[in-house]
Structure 1
Amino acid sequence: MRWSKARLPMTATVASPRVSTPRDRLAGLDGLRAVAVTLVVVFHLGTGVMPGGYLGVDIFFPISGFLITTLLLRERAEHGTIDVLKFWQRRARRLLPALAVVVLVCCAAAFVVGGDLLVEIGRQVLGASTFSYNWLAIADGASYLDSTTPELFRNLWSLAVEEQFYLVWPLLVALLWLVPSRWFRFAFVVAVAVASAVLMGVLAMDSASTRAYYGTDSHSFGLALGAALAIARHDWPGFAVPHTRRGRIAGGGVGLLAIAGLVVLAFVMPAESPATYQGGLARVAVLSVVAIAMATVPGGLLGRGLDARPLRWIGQRSYGIYLWHWPVFVLVAGVWPAGGRSPATQWTIAGIALAVTLLAAALSYSLVELPVRRQGFRGSLGVFTMQWRRDRWGVRRGAWARATVVTVALATTALAVGAVASDPGDGLAEARIRAGQAAIAAAEARAAAPEPAAAEPTLPRGDQMIAIGDSVMLAVAPELTAAFPGISIDAVVSRQMSSAPAIVKALVEAKQMRPFLVLGLGTNGGISLDTLQQVKRIVGHRTQVVLVNVQAPRGWTPGNNDILRGYSDRVRTVELADWHAAIQPRLDVLARDQIHAGGPVGGGIYVDALTAALLRLVSQPELEGGPHESGDKPAER
């Protein structure tokens, strides 16, 4: 390891052989990057086609761990040391220019658009510029799946994890190679991976899924497994490298199956599932390492297939695509006119965002990333200022170009600074949520002396109702507590339907369950019929249930609403509050996110939908053996 001129001596062991892959590049990695970034982009564009596409990040991590470790070990094998400062300089050249452009341009655009796009943008820019986004998000209580505010740079959490790895890993490699045992080095890195995966599972068990997902310590297993593969290839050059034609064909088949497995998981492993954190993402990392090992086999068919020109084009620009896609999508959605977000509209927004992303990434790669990587920060200036050349009229074209670049850069920076200075603190949806929390607290304070029952004689009183929900319910809590005095509301931002059985079970065991349960979940991810059945089994027939369906421009909304309606149609003591249908004529009263009520009018529509469902529920004819027992509903409703 070298800080400047100083060197650490090599160990007494014989120098390890070099990796037997081509010097300039590793076959197949660009194709794997293309697969990874495609999964992430499809997931983030909000069409709901690929609910597990977020795992593309967990394909990037092993690729990064493998590639960086391979480069470090090559340098040590060639020069006898690792120049840490030059390594960090190369990483800075590779990552900082494109990142700076994205942050400045998108901040400037957010300032022009205004509104909720500016919420907490200062914290986001700080996290992006210091590569601490993940830890600042954890400290702020932000969630990867939170749709309350359109967090502009949410995707940069993973870049922060990688940069923290790049900061520490070269030093650790140098220390590891002071140990002569190859087995110890390999086992140590594998043990780090296992410990990180176990920590993620433990944290998720304590309902800290955001901490588990964002934490560098709990989400480094992919980086470590990729590094372990590079170490194994370095210390045992034949590791996972078939030498016969038949072996290479079989290895390519294994790698292809691993990639297919990753794609399947992208369709079936939603982010809200506890299994995702308790081994699911670790399996993704293992499959990714298998795919990397087989793709980088010299002369392998899989590597050649992944090096196909379209995949290679996407893979080479995958960094820029990843940087641009999420803020561009948020900006396009932010400028879209208020109103309904039909599936066709959502696809239109996604298509526009994708086209802008690809154009921006291509320009960034050609005009920013490649010039800086090849010529350094100073030497690259001439590429986009056309040098100092005169045209046929004697005008210095380079001077005009340089002046234009400087002017645009200064204007963009000024707008970006204006965006940070204009942070409104709370977005419209968040303000409504805070008002809802205050209303719940006030209602609880009045619980000792509940107000008179509602005018409708057959309508349940508020003190007979308990409501469990997410931020949508929080946003309408002022109207709920006014319409149903004494109602108990337990609503939390980003809550998933999968958490409902545990919450309901705790209420039943504490003898706090009431005759009417209102369940308003499903905004933040997919739901399952099994979860609804679990809730009903726990509360039994004495508690009647109202399911509030979903209004959200998300791909899973139609499926969730179909499940909620189908279940409420079949079970006698369950009714559907059709919030989605009720709000459609008045989408203008929602916040810009088209999810949360933007004021009392939206909250009143929510209350009306709930009231209609309660009236239908209490109007059900009694069955023999007691009122409103569970069972099939009559054909006519």
Structure 2
Amino acid sequence: MDRIAAIDGLRGLAVLAVVWYHLSPTSLPGGFSGVDVFLVVSGFVVSASVCRHGLVEGWVWAFFARRVRRLLPALVVCLIATGVACMLWVPEAWLSDRNHKTGRMAFYGASNWLMASRGDDYFSPSNDFNPYVHTWSLGLEEQFYLLFPFAIAGWLKGGEWRTVSFLICSGMLVTSLAFGLLPTSDDFRVAFHLVPARAWEFLTGVVTWQILQKGRPAQSKKALLVLGTSGLIGVLYSLGSASPQQFPVPGAIPAVLGTGCLLFSLAHHERTRLSSLLSWLPLASAGRMSYSLYLWHWPVFVLFRWTVGLDGPMQRVAALVVASGVAYASWRYIESHGLRATREWRPSFVVGSGIATMVVGAVLLDAIHHQTGRWSRSTVMRHAEDWFPKTKPGSYLTCGRVDRANAEVGSGWVKTISRKGCPSVSKAPRVFAIGDSHALALGPMYAAYVATTGAPVFLYNNGGCPVLSLQLERESSEHCKRSFQAARKHMMAALQPGDVVFLPSLRLERRVDQWGGSVAPRHAIPSGLAEARNILGELRTVGAHVVVLAPNLLLNVPLFRCADGWTQWQAVCRPGHLVERAEFEARRRPVMLALADLAKEPDVRLFDPLPILCPEDEVVCSGYRGGRPLFFDADHLSAYGSELLFPAFMDLVVSRPWKDVGGD
């Protein structure tokens, strides 16, 4: 089959829908289903390509070689260039912690496996900051290509084997379609990202080609126009209204079935009004460079989101212009040149070279990533010692070293931070810290305590699950209950009289999350006081003392995303890092009153960081002090902020004697 301009136009429609969705998802809510159109077209086109070359010796190697030449050069250049850009401008953070691994897996065509196995799905806000996340569909395609020769081999033999091949492909299609109906949330990620639940989309293209080749019965142009128009309506309907929760089945059915009808119609007659519409030069041109445009637009958009933002019309237009320019260059000088330059190479050599290139590319990406601290232009990375709350002892260590060891506790872990190599024996109390991610953010304070006193700190990983938050709805998930019960059991078995249990957690609703989603400030209504008293009473039965962290300052911006001059263009950074002290005091007052009531219990103390981070004579609180960050994002302390709390923490735990009276 010769190249059909209308099919290029269909590709162009699909890629432009995906680009539009990634720029403005609310204005084209189903634009992501352009990927489903691509998958069907891919199955159709590779079937035509294999059948055109015929059943010759080494045809499988030849097929793989054509796929390598078509996909790999532009992909490798894109991944390496994206890695360099991330090294320069993207700081390391929770929001970017999966980026590098996703990029490395993309070299092997396996980033979709990573996305299927982790907690976030394709539509998670955190994925908006991962420049490699779009490679999941390329991995899906590459994995299907490994299976494709087995499905099409019978067809190439001709005769009755074609019926066998058709039945095999149809059976695989139905089986895959059924697999896509998996119901649970975990299975949604699997079904969305992996071949078993997506193969039916490729196979729709394959089966459409087979039906077309079984014979071309006389079809009226009118009937084909009706079929093709119905298919186009199905595709447009999906692009305009598809719901992510229904994918891949039944949500993708209109786009997939519509694409199959369109392909059947376009391949029958190339001179219809419909084919003329889809052959429109701008649309067909976008289709010819659709692979490069798909490859490059997402990393460009994500890098805009990390730097100058992607919120306003000017930023979106600029991002679109940059993405289009880079995609054109990729198509003209990498994708097309790679096809021409390797055309005379032996297929086995092309495949071997492709595998070697993938391995070398992944190693090179690792090397680039490891240079982030050295070459990054990000303020966060260039002053990492102020920003990242690692468990480093700083200048407090006078002998030996601070050691860290992890042990599993249920589905989580406990980190033991201890001092080694010092002759003196500590008389300071051991500290058991348990809470949500705000407990982990105080690493420098724990390390300073260990380095100074020699007493160990046991830090429980209970991320995402606060302890004693006084808001039961934030602790009521089954995951949080299991996590806390496992840590609680382990801690109670280890506690001795005189030990200190430290309870740091987020006790107010944050103002803004790391990806920029804002939350309307509201006064917290304390609840769960009875449960809190039960926990405190249980700890006191073993003779433990308790320190509860009071609600800390909450900023209006995630500070690490707003630390550089170019980030001031971002909408998330516009509120600034200043907070009215009186407004915050009023907001946290109900929780403070409840905690003060709990602190009347014997051996319970309240540790308030606010006067340290924002002295009482300051009317406006800042996210910085002397140009150094107090916070990493909008609510987790930075390394510098954590270190500032150490003297007060030391005084509260060690310097002042514990008495059997409350209200400290």
Q: TM-score, normalised by structure 2?
A: 0.56
CA contact (8 A) 2:237 2:254 kept: no
Distance 2:207 2:473 in 1: 58
Distance 1:135-1:486 versus aligned 2 partners, 3 A rule = closer
**1:308 is matched with which residue: 265, 274, 280?**
280
**1:105 is matched with which residue: 69, 81, 102?**
81
Q: CA deviation at 1:172?
A: 2.9
Q: Which has the larger radius of gyration?
A: 2
Specify the alignment match of 2:236 in structure 1. Answer: 263
Distance 1:250 1:100 in 2: 44
CA contact (8 A) 1:113 1:334 kept: yes
* Range with bigger deviation, 55-64 or 139-148: 139-148
Specify the alignment match of 2:251 in structure 1. Answer: 280
CA contact (8 A) 1:429 1:598 kept: no
| Aligned: 1:349 with 2:336 | no
Q: CA deviation at 1:199?
A: 0.4
Q: CA deviation at 1:106?
A: 0.9
User: Percent identity, aligned pairs only?
Assistant: 22
Distance 1:489-1:316 versus aligned 2 partners, 3 A rule = same
Distance 2:587 2:137 in 1: 41
RMSD: 4.8
| Aligned: 1:193 with 2:165 | no
Distance 1:282-1:601 versus aligned 2 partners, 3 A rule = farther
Kindly provide the amino acid, as one letter, of the partner of residue 366 in structure 1: R
Distance 1:584-1:442 versus aligned 2 partners, 3 A rule = closer
CA contact (8 A) 1:483 1:607 kept: no
Kindly provide the amino acid, as one letter, of the partner of residue 30 in structure 1: D
The count of aligned residue pairs is 435
Kindly provide the amino acid, as one letter, of the partner of residue 35 in structure 1: L
Specify the alignment match of 1:169 in structure 2. Answer: 148
Kindly provide the amino acid, as one letter, of the partner of residue 475 in structure 2: S
Specify the alignment match of 2:615 in structure 1. Answer: none
Correspondence list, 1:142-161, <5 A: 142-148=120-126, 150-161=129-140
Q: CA deviation at 1:553?
A: 7.8
Higher relative contact order by CA 8 Å / sep ≥ 6: 1 or 2?
Answer: 1
Specify the alignment match of 2:403 in structure 1. Answer: none
| Deviations, residues 103-157 of structure 1 (Å, cap 9, x unaligned) | 1111101100031475234422322111111113223444211223622210001
**1:229 is matched with which residue: 188, 208, 225?**
208
Distance 1:118-1:477 versus aligned 2 partners, 3 A rule = closer
CA contact (8 A) 1:122 1:420 kept: no
Kindly provide the amino acid, as one letter, of the partner of residue 269 in structure 1: A
CA contact (8 A) 1:225 1:285 kept: yes
| Aligned: 1:417 with 2:367 | yes
Specify the alignment match of 2:52 in structure 1. Answer: 74
Specify the alignment match of 1:89 in structure 2. Answer: 65
Structure 2: which 5+ residue stretches go unaligned? 346-359, 374-380, 391-411, 414-432, 440-461, 481-508, 523-552, 563-569, 592-664
Distance 1:207-1:429 versus aligned 2 partners, 3 A rule = farther
Distance 1:308 1:430 in 2: 56
Kindly provide the amino acid, as one letter, of the partner of residue 204 in structure 2: L
CA contact (8 A) 1:551 1:594 kept: no
Specify the alignment match of 1:359 in structure 2. Answer: 325
Give secondary structure in 1 for the equivalent of 2:342. helix
Give secondary structure in 1 for the equivalent of 2:196. coil
Kindly provide the amino acid, as one letter, of the partner of residue 477 in structure 2: D
Correspondence list, 1:562-581, <5 A: none
Distance 1:476 1:67 in 2: 47
| Aligned: 1:295 with 2:266 | yes
CA contact (8 A) 1:196 1:217 kept: yes
Distance 1:348 1:606 in 2: 35
CA contact (8 A) 1:27 1:295 kept: no
Distance 1:281 1:486 in 2: 36
CA contact (8 A) 1:346 1:553 kept: no
Distance 1:283 1:85 in 2: 35
CA contact (8 A) 2:47 2:209 kept: yes
CA contact (8 A) 1:135 1:215 kept: yes
CA contact (8 A) 2:154 2:161 kept: no
Distance 1:118 1:94 in 2: 30
| Deviations, residues 383-415 of structure 1 (Å, cap 9, x unaligned) | xxxxxxxxxxxxxxxxxxxxxxxxxxx999978
Q: CA deviation at 1:52?
A: 1.4
Distance 1:34 1:429 in 2: 44
CA contact (8 A) 2:19 2:297 kept: yes
Kindly provide the amino acid, as one letter, of the partner of residue 342 in structure 2: G
Distance 2:338 2:473 in 1: 64
Give secondary structure in 2 for the equivalent of 1:201. coil
Q: CA deviation at 1:441?
A: 10
CA contact (8 A) 2:232 2:258 kept: yes
Specify the alignment match of 1:634 in structure 2. Answer: none
CA contact (8 A) 1:40 1:55 kept: yes
CA contact (8 A) 1:429 1:591 kept: no
CA contact (8 A) 2:152 2:165 kept: no
Kindly provide the amino acid, as one letter, of the partner of residue 232 in structure 1: I
Distance 1:139-1:487 versus aligned 2 partners, 3 A rule = closer
Correspondence list, 1:120-159, <5 A: 120-148=98-126, 150-159=129-138
Structure 1: which 5+ residue stretches go unaligned? 1-22, 380-409, 444-473, 494-546, 566-582, 614-637
Distance 1:98 1:325 in 2: 13
Kindly provide the amino acid, as one letter, of the partner of residue 326 in structure 2: A
Distance 1:600-1:322 versus aligned 2 partners, 3 A rule = same
